[in-house]
Amino acid sequence: MYREKGRHPERRIKRMTPQPHTSTGLPYGSRFTTSGAMKAEEQNNDDLLTAYFFTTTAMMAFPFKNYTSQDSQAMVGVTPNPGPLCPSDNSTLRILLTLFYSLFFILGLTGNLLALWVFLRVHSMKNSVRVLFINVALADLLLVACLPFRVWYHGVRRDHWELGATMCRIVGNFFYMNMYISITLLGLLSVDRYLKITRGGVPRQRQHRQHRLLLVVASNWSTVTCALIWVLAFAVTLLLMLTKETHKEINRCFQYKQLLHAKWKGYVNLMLVVVFWITYCAMVVSHVKIAFKLLRMSKENPNFPNALRYTRIVKNSFFILFLFTVCFVPYHIVRLMYIITQVMDTSCYWMRTVNQVNEIALLFSALNSCLDPVMYVLLSSELRKQVMKFAGSVMQVWLCLICAAKMGNV
């Protein structure tokens, strides 16, 4: 009967038997299998062999490197999964961050509040330097206000964030916003001082009508410029905060983030680094030219009453430039490497190293919020007077407390 119908039981059994599949998804012997699919399968096998060869070669070349699954994926050309990045024990670094951020908060809050009080209530002269000082002190205060969150995160919760992703983005972005506002304003302050000194020297008669008009114009110019800087900084910060992230680590904040799927954020960070280096170069040129101008004036007129004052201004200028260099240059050197690791496939070992160095360099940047009041004291005679009065009052209170304690013991 089977022969009459042209069928065989062996063929029926063969049809019911599941056929093995190739990597292309088509069974052997299928009428849908084409020569193109077979070539694709051969190419896939060749790619896997090539990837295995390069992975093995790299591991043999660098035997002491800590390779992870992300490293292997990066070697074979696979984008690593943006999961929790390179967990490691940062207990020592966490303690250092907690201690220094706590100290910076206390010193920065006290110094900048005192400076703001002097510039707003005591120092009534309206000029561009006063306007820039007020804005720098305000930016430093807002930056200092972000430090308790870092102390709580690193010290109290041990790198465990519990305030939500939105609050993390607000605190993190506001920290950097105020840091770069302060950097830009300090650069403008240097250029402003250079223009005033090189154009007419240090004026002796401040009541002169023409000089008063110049002060008003400079004050208005600095006010408008500061307003534009704040508006631009807020706009960039809101843009960074409102964009959705491809990966969110709910319990992590202030940590390394890869930007493989949002490289434009890396380019924004790179633009900020460029802004810093432009500002830094402008500061160096301004301070050097101020020094040459004042030293030449003091040498030409050694008996001039302001000769010693000019020399002191030069020393203060270079000291301010030195503080700015110590605080911000190391961070922005490390920042370039940090951004590169964010936008490229990077090994876990290199991610950890760059992240730890970046956190240490960021400490120096936060230190600037405590050192800016030192700059105010060096450049403002009125603030120096108020600081001396404040220090005298504190000393009197301490002496009274000590005397009262001794009287109580007697």
pLDDT digits (tens, 9 = 90+) for 282-311: 999 999 998 888 888 777 776 666 667 777
Do 232 and 336 lie in a common domain? yes
Do 60 and 100 lie in a common domain? no
Average pLDDT of the chain is 75
Q: State the pLDDT confidence band at 202, using cuts at 50, 70 and 90.
A: very low
Average pLDDT over residues 228-234: 95
What lies within 8 Å, CB to CB, of 257 at 6+ separation is 85, 245, 342
Taking 60 as the threshold, does the pLDDT of residue 92 lie above it? yes
Taking 50 as the threshold, does the pLDDT of residue 78 lie above it? no
The pLDDT value recorded for residue 14 is 47
Lowest mean pLDDT among 13-22, 167-176, 215-224, 344-353: 13-22
pLDDT digits (tens, 9 = 90+) for 167-180: 988 999 999 999 99
Per the domain annotation, does 14 fall within a domain? Answer: no
Taking 60 as the threshold, does the pLDDT of residue 67 lie above it? no
Greater confidence, 87 or 108? 108
Per the domain annotation, does 310 fall within a domain? Answer: yes
The pLDDT value recorded for residue 317 is 85
Taking 80 as the threshold, does the pLDDT of residue 382 lie above it? no
Taking 70 as the threshold, does the pLDDT of residue 13 lie above it? no
Do 68 and 100 lie in a common domain? no
Do 34 and 105 lie in a common domain? no
What lies within 8 Å, CB to CB, of 157 at 6+ separation is none
Separation CA 207–CA 210 (nearest Å)? 9
The pLDDT value recorded for residue 122 is 67
Reading the block at residue 352, the tokens are 């950890």
The pLDDT value recorded for residue 275 is 94
**Percentage of residues of the chain with pLDDT beyond 70:** 66
Do 48 and 189 lie in a common domain? no
The pLDDT value recorded for residue 244 is 65
Greater confidence, 403 or 5? 403
Taking 50 as the threshold, does the pLDDT of residue 398 lie above it? yes
The answer to whether residues 287 and 319 touch, using CB atoms and an 8 Å cutoff, is no
The answer to whether residues 244 and 165 touch, using CB atoms and an 8 Å cutoff, is no
Domain interval for residue 59: 20-78
Taking 80 as the threshold, does the pLDDT of residue 46 lie above it? no
Greater confidence, 278 or 376? 278
What lies within 8 Å, CB to CB, of 280 at 6+ separation is 187, 324, 325, 328, 329
Do 184 and 62 lie in a common domain? no
The answer to whether residues 153 and 254 touch, using CB atoms and an 8 Å cutoff, is yes
Per the domain annotation, does 109 fall within a domain? Answer: yes
The pLDDT value recorded for residue 31 is 44
Do 104 and 179 lie in a common domain? yes
The pLDDT value recorded for residue 313 is 80
Using the structure block, give the residue that is written with the tokens 């790619």.
47
Do 38 and 95 lie in a common domain? no
Q: State the pLDDT confidence band at 226, using cuts at 50, 70 and 90.
A: very high
What long-range pairs does 148-156 form, CB within 8 A, spacing at least 24?
Answer: 148/105, 150/97, 150/101, 150/175, 150/254, 151/98, 151/101, 151/102, 151/105, 153/253, 153/254, 154/94, 154/97, 154/98, 154/101, 154/254, 155/94, 155/95, 155/97, 155/98, 155/102
The pLDDT value recorded for residue 82 is 38
> Residue 21's beta-bridge partner residues?
27
The answer to whether residues 157 and 254 touch, using CB atoms and an 8 Å cutoff, is no
Taking 90 as the threshold, does the pLDDT of residue 120 lie above it? no
Do 108 and 62 lie in a common domain? no
Do 136 and 211 lie in a common domain? yes
Per the domain annotation, does 132 fall within a domain? Answer: yes
pLDDT digits (tens, 9 = 90+) for 331-368: 999 998 888 887 777 778 888 888 889 999 999 999 99
Do 242 and 95 lie in a common domain? yes
The pLDDT value recorded for residue 147 is 95
Identify the CATH number of the domain in which residue 107 sits: 1.20.1070.10
51-60, 199-208, 239-248, 340-349: range with highest mean pLDDT? 340-349
Q: State the pLDDT confidence band at 316, using cuts at 50, 70 and 90.
A: confident
Number of domains in the chain: 2
- Give the number of residues written for the chain: 410
Per the domain annotation, does 409 fall within a domain? Answer: no
The pLDDT value recorded for residue 118 is 83
Q: What is the 3-state secondary structure (H, E, C) of the chain?
A: CCCCCCCCHHHHHHHHCCCCECCCCCECCCCCCCHHHHHHHHHHHHHHHHHHHHHHHHHHHCCCCCCCHHHHHHHCCCCCCCCCCCCCCCHHHHHHHHHHHHHHHHHHHHHHHHHHHHHHHHCCCCCHHHHHHHHHHHHHHHHHHHHHHHHHHHHHCCCCCCCHHHHHHHHHHHHHHHHHHHHHHHHHHHHHHHHHHHHHCCCCCCCCHHHHHHHHHHHHHHHHHHHHHHHHHHHHHHHHHHCCCCCCCCCCCCCCCCCCCCHHHHHHHHHHHHHHHHHHHHHHHHHHHHHHHHHHHHHHCCCCCCHHHHHHHHHHHHHHHHHHHHHHHHHHHHHHHHHHHHHCCCCHHHHHHHHHHHHHHHHHHHHHHHHHHHHHHHHCHHHHHHHHHHHHHHHHHHHHHHHHHHHHHC
Per the domain annotation, does 161 fall within a domain? Answer: yes
Average pLDDT over residues 14-26: 47
Taking 80 as the threshold, does the pLDDT of residue 248 lie above it? no
Per the domain annotation, does 85 fall within a domain? Answer: no
Greater confidence, 63 or 126? 126
Q: State the pLDDT confidence band at 329, using cuts at 50, 70 and 90.
A: very high
Give the residue from 57, 78, 99 where a domain finishes. Answer: 78
Encode burial over 43-66: b for 16+ CB neighbours within 10 A, e otherwise: eeeeeeeebeeebeebeeeeeeee
Lowest mean pLDDT among 194-208, 232-246, 291-305: 194-208
Taking 50 as the threshold, does the pLDDT of residue 218 lie above it? yes
Give the residue from 78, 105, 121 where a domain finishes. Answer: 78
Per the domain annotation, does 291 fall within a domain? Answer: yes
**Percentage of residues of the chain with pLDDT beyond 90:** 28
Greater confidence, 95 or 203? 95
Do 157 and 65 lie in a common domain? no
